[in-house]
Amino acid sequence: MRTLNRTAAAAATPNPGAEAAQFLTFTLDEEVFALDIRTVREIIQYGPMTTVPLMPTFVRGVINLRGAVVPVIDLQARFGRASAEVGKKTCIIIFDAERDGERTELGLLVDAVSEVVEISADMIEPPPNFGAGVRRDFIRGMGKHGGRFVILLEPDKAFDVEEMAAMCAVDPETALA
């Protein structure tokens, strides 16, 4: 089992006065995305999970992570695409989200994790006004790395626990049908 624990993430935390930040890169289809490494707790291999009835399609299920129930978000489905196909390199990124000022662990189902990269602030462009396959408010910026763009996600928006919880609310009309 491949893991990145909190100690490794803390060691990778950039100096607060520095111009650059470190990001964990991962792929969805052929696109490269990234999360600020400071929000990442660990990376685990894809394994069995429990599906939960009446959840939106982007909630793949829950896993037992050392006794804690952790919801797993299918990023492909969260971004309005078809559900992800599980492959040999499919894994789950465990990261910290905030809800009402409290830390909540969420799992993100991704095709593969690539590497931790450092991107300086001057190499980050604002999100595009059109043409992105992801909602604009989900994107922190477009990081230039290795001659290509990396889509830097804004976890507070893309994985807003309040918004996702509202999507999970059962419509009474549907429940009675």
Q: What is the CATH number of the domain that holds 80?
A: 2.40.50.180
User: Buried (b) or exposed (e) across 7-23, using 16+ Cβ within 10 A?
Assistant: eebeebeeeeeeeebbb
Q: How much is the pLDDT for 132?
A: 55
Within a domain: 73: yes
The tokens describing 61, both together, are 């299920």
Q: Domain tally for the chain?
A: 1
Lookup: tokens for 173: 């009309």
Q: Is residue 104 part of a domain?
A: yes
Q: Is residue 5 part of a domain?
A: no
What is the pLDDT at residue 4? 46
Residues 72-100: b if buried by 16+ CB within 10 A, e if exposed: bbbbbbbbeeeebeeeeebbbbbbbbeee
- The answer as to whether 141 is a domain residue is yes
Residue 29 structural domain = 21-159
Total-model pTM: 0.78
Q: pLDDT tens, position by position, for the chain (177 residues)?
A: 444 444 333 334 444 444 789 999 999 988 999 999 999 999 999 999 999 988 888 899 999 999 999 999 999 988 888 899 999 999 999 998 876 777 889 999 999 999 999 999 999 998 877 655 667 778 889 999 988 999 999 887 777 756 665 655 544 433 333
Domain assignment present for 100 = yes
Identify whether 41 is part of a domain. Answer: yes
What pLDDT is stored for residue 160 in this prediction?
A: 72
Phi and psi based region of residue 127 (left: phi greater than 0; alpha: psi -120 to 50; beta: remaining):
beta
Say if residue 35 is exposed, middle or buried (CB neighbours under 10 Å; 0-12, 13-18, 19+). buried
Q: Which of 62, 66, 63 is nearest to 52 (CA)?
A: 62
Residue 26 lies in a domain: yes
> 34 Cβ partners below 8 Å, 6+ apart?
23, 24, 25, 26, 117, 119, 143, 150, 151, 152, 153
* 7 belongs to a structural domain: no
